[in-house]
Amino acid sequence: MQIGVNVPNFGPGTDPGVLRAWAQTVEGLGFDLLMVSDHVAITPDVAEQYPAPFYEPFTTLSWLAGITSRVRLGTTVLLMPYRHPLLLARMAANLNQLSGERLVLGVGVGWAKQEFEALGVRFDRRGRLTDEYLHALKAAWADEKDYRAGRIPIWIGGNSDAALRRTVRLGDAWHPLSFTPGWFRAAVDRLRAIAEQEQRPMPALAPRIKLWLTATPVTGTDRLAGEGTLDQVLDDIAQLRALGSGSVVLDPFHGDPEQTRRPETWWQMLAAVAAHRETDRKEIP
């Protein structure tokens, strides 16, 4: 299983120096994937959760590609209706080529209505636009002479049944965000059923879970995967692997933008997970 990290590319504590330190930390700890989020217009509904500065994902990942050498780079998730699909196809193909084919393109439909209005994109058509743009993106990449896209995996974000259908029809992997362990098990069964209905292969699983380590166990059916003691988090990762997840992305952000001023707290949690992972590797004969 590959383990990645969702790096906050927003908030009052984020600047180029912090982003550089994040990249060095994620790669230095041996994680496999570094991912960032996407917003274009920081309208009030976006700013309430993800305040400025917000670093645009393609610009940021292009810069981080030159700072790193091994870790894969991705979006969790790029908001598909915000960019013309041919522009997106070009940017993604170029970034993949310049980074040594390290790009993972996670995409989603978006949720911030004011941001859609600011960009002149119809909020009520965001699902249909996402499907249309994915078709156009894949068609553009099929012209290898022009785009030379290589093999860029497309992860489809979202926890709805519409997202499951979109994944089966147009994605390489399902990339649900923030959920309880019980919900995920049931959702995997739904995904498998949809794949059978569509007579298509079962997509890969690449969930994004929270990461928040506590001194005492977190109990209750509403506990999110990735929250609790180190043993609980490691067990969550093991359960995701047992369900067939080839990748899992750890998301340390818990909704308070002021946390971005203290990334060392997050780095310590990541180091604890990485240390146990390294121990497991050494014990494998």
pLDDT in tens, the chain (285 residues): 999 999 999 999 999 999 999 999 999 999 999 999 999 999 999 999 999 999 999 999 999 999 999 999 999 999 999 999 999 999 999 999 999 999 999 999 999 999 999 999 999 999 999 999 999 999 999 987 778 888 999 999 999 999 999 999 999 999 999 999 999 999 999 999 999 999 999 999 999 999 999 999 999 999 999 999 999 999 999 999 999 999 999 999 999 999 999 999 999 999 999 999 866 665 544
Q: For residue 143, what pLDDT is reported?
A: 84
Q: For residue 285, what pLDDT is reported?
A: 46
Q: For residue 144, what pLDDT is reported?
A: 75
Nearest C-alpha neighbor of 3 from the set 212, 237, 249? 249
Specify the pTM. Answer: 0.96
Q: For residue 284, what pLDDT is reported?
A: 47
Q: Which domains does the chain have, with CATH numbers?
A: 2-283 (3.20.20.30)
Per DSSP bridges, beta strands 208-210 and 204-205 are unpaired
